[in-house]
Structure 1
Amino acid sequence: MFKGSIVALITPMDEKGKICRQSLKKLINYHIKHGTSAIVTVGTTGESATLNQEEHNDVVMLTVDLADGNIPIIAGTGANATSEGILLTKKFEKSGIIACLTVTPYYNRPTQKGLYQHFKAISESSHLPQILYNVPARTGCDLLPETIIKLAKLKNIIGIKDATGDLSRIHLIKQFVKNDFIIFSGDDETALDFMQLGGNGVISVTANIAAKEMQEICSLALKKDFHTARLINKRLMPIHKILFNEPNPIPVKWAAKKLGLIKTDTLRLPMTQISHDTKIILNQALKHAGLNT
């Protein structure tokens, strides 16, 4: 469950911005059908920043309930305050999730010492496995390899999602951590290269709309068949790129609606609807990948 293609799931909403249970069930079934390894619920792509705490809890629990044990669920539990991260993590201890994905604190820009103490405190507060999440483009905070290596020695910290796109970090981390420490890419565009360098898989935005293809790419990569994996990835490359043409999850929600996976592409302010120009390019990318049929 901690390898291959894991989807960073969008949070479907109705026209009024309320969580859409019907679309969420459809998305979960889509990923079960196409062999996605696990679901991350309420991460960056799940609009964690615009859900209040009650909604955050409700979406996680609803995802677990609708999955009904047919696919593992990982909950996003990151916060900029350590105390809030601990409370959120402890809420899910008996929920049925298999792990937490914990993003670096945002806005307050802690030092590497502060980051270490932050994640250490969260890991010591709960028995749940913790996957660190580094995405400095969104948080303004970079969890450096030397800090990751120190954190990897703590009991409940089992892996890292690295969304920097910096492939040089894999070797820096892998040579100093145990073999069972999991290293995920958080960048679809470089994920295959990441796996060829020793990564275990990807926590993917693209998988929201190309679950089968992302599963195939990762499965082939884990079998060291990088030639065939690259043939599939080449078709998806325009999608990997255009999904970040505007802030995630603006483009992927529009694409999911266009492909009939969700009812609406409703977003919470300050996220706004996709631009006309991005729609055109994304529609072309869907056709190139053979998804827009």
Structure 2
Amino acid sequence: MQLSGSITALATPFDHAREIDMGAWQRLLALQLEQGTQGLVVAGSTGEAAALLDAEYDLLLRSAVEFVAGRVPVLAGTGQSNTAKTVESTRRAAALGADAALVVTPPYVRPTQAGLLAHYRAVADDGALPVVLYNVPARTGCDMLPETVAALAGHPRIMGIKEARAEPERMQALLALQAGDFSVLSGDDPTACRAMLAGARGIVSVASNVLPAAFRRLSDLARSGNAPAAMELDARLEPILDFMGVEPNPTPVKALLALQGLGHELRLPLLPLSAAHQDAAIAMLASIRGIEGALGPSVAA
């Protein structure tokens, strides 16, 4: 299995009582598949994994695996602040049918680079699932450096990295490590086009929750080397991607999903989108409908 293309980090729809809205969840899964999404992440940070009970995690992952039925890879967020807990979580995801584990650098504890090496080797050596490294220092307080990634890239159970740092120098350093069995994926929507034009194999996207057709098209164009068309589409998406950063993820994207009837609430300590941004959300939704309507499900062909 090689990960590539447009992969969506799924939001978790909650109803007005902040319980999982299974109807909205299945509609979101269906929308992603219909519009050509090439992989799905369940219970990552966009999915409010830290707010899910174990039984809810199991429900979401099991139902996604059953719904997808092998059509695209399903990745499970399994990263914890402790190595033994990460191993246990990865085994749990494997038992529920996930294809791979997306393992974020341990949040809050700020391990050294040697600690990161030991952590990821322990998870990969356990062998429950293929591992995708995930570096997002703005959230975790820990930055996995390219030399650490280089030391992990040859492990037979480590299949790639989702890199959320936006600097082109970081992406170039990682792309030098990309090989047939190790994929570099952008984890930053605003710079994903640039990363894929430079050689990244795909994007793990937040915005593709509401722009699945657009991100599939962007991925196809950039990965085929069609820079003018890719950059033109990226420019059209820029105001929407800027909006995604007005409040902490996943607040803006969940506001846009709520306007489409795909869930309503976040779980505390996250709050709904501020009133000051509601008009902008409505304007963004109009843009999204225009872009997605023009592209349509034909991108999945």
1:272 maps to 271
Which string of whole-angstrom CA distances, capped at 9 and with x for unpartnered residues, describes residues 56-93 of structure 1? Answer: 22211121122233332111111001111000101122
Q: How many angstroms does 1:292 deviate by?
A: 9.3
TM-superposed CA distance for 1:146, in Å, is: 0.7
Q: Could you tell me which amino acid in structure 1 is paired with residue 276 of structure 2?
A: D
Match of 1:156 in 2: 157
The 2-side partners of 1:292 and 1:251 are apart by 18
Whether the aligned pair in 2 keeps the contact of 1:286 and 1:292 (CA below 8 Å) is no
Partners of 1:93 and 1:126 within 8 A in 2? no
Counterpart position of 2:66: 65
Q: Quick check: 2:214–2:291 contact (8 Å CA) kept in 1?
A: no
**How far off is 1:177 after superposition?**
4.8
Deviation at 1:127, TM superposition (A): 4.1
- 1:240 alignment partner AA: L
Is 1:6–1:39's contact at 8 Å kept on the other side of the alignment? yes
- 2:35–2:212 Cα contact (<8 Å) kept: yes
Q: Which amino acid aligns with 2:58?
A: N
Q: Is the 8 A contact 1:5 1:215 kept in 2?
A: yes
- Give the drift of 1:197: 1.2
The corresponding residue for 2:296 is none
Write 1 or 2 for the structure with the bigger share of helix.
2
Distance in 2, matches of 1:181 and 1:240, equals 28
| Aligned pairs (5 A) from 1:179-194 | 179-194=180-195
Give 5+ residue unaligned stretches, structure 1.
none
Match of 1:104 in 2: 105
CA contact (8 A) 2:78 2:93 kept: no
Aligned-residue offset at 1:277 = 1.9
Give the corresponding residue for 1:43: 44
- Equivalent AA in structure 1 for residue 238 of structure 2: M
Partner SS for 1:267:
coil
d(CA) in 2 for partners of 1:80, 1:133: 13
> Who is 1:113 aligned against?
114
The TM-score, its normalising length taken from structure 1, stands at 0.94
Q: Is the alpha carbon distance of 1:37 and 1:242 closer, same or farther for their aligned partners in structure 2, counting shifts above 3 Å?
A: same
Partner SS state of residue 92, structure 1 = helix
Q: Give runs of aligned pairs for residues 100-249 of structure 1, distance below 5 A.
A: 100-249=101-250
Cα displacement (A) at 1:258? 1.1
Letter in 1 for 2:162: K
Retained in 1: the 8 A contact 2:108–2:140?
A: yes
Q: Secondary structure at the match of 1:143?
A: coil
Deviation of the 1:4 alpha carbon? 0.8
1:55 is aligned with what amino acid? E
Q: Deviations over 1:252-271 (max 9, x none)?
A: 011012133x1x32111000
After the TM superposition, list the runs of 4 or more consecutive aligned residues in structure 1 that deviate by more than 6 angstroms. Answer: none
**Are 1:30 and 2:31 an aligned pair?**
yes
Asked whether the equivalents of residues 11 and 46 of structure 1 are also in contact (C-alpha less than 8 Å), the reply is yes
Structure 1 contact 163–186 (Cα < 8 Å) conserved: yes
Q: Secondary structure at the match of 2:20?
A: coil
Task: Give 1:117's aligned amino acid.
Answer: A
Letter aligned with residue 230 of structure 1: M
Q: Judge conservation of contact 2:199–2:223 (CA < 8 Å) in 1.
A: no
Comparing 118-127 with 210-219, greater Cα deviation is found at: 118-127
> Does 1:13 find its partner at 2:14?
yes
Q: Tell me which amino acid in the other structure corresponds to 2:284.
A: A
Looking at structure 1, the residues matched to 198 and 292 of structure 2 have their Cα atoms a distance apart, in angstroms, of: 32
Read off the aligned partner of 2:190 and give its amino acid letter: E
Amino acid at match of 1:108: V
Read off the aligned partner of 1:223 and give its amino acid letter.
S
Query: Contact 1:3/1:201 (CA < 8 Å) preserved in 2?
Result: yes
Percent of counterpart pairs with the same letter?
A: 36
Query: What is the CA-CA distance between 1:12 and the residue it aligns to?
Result: 0.8
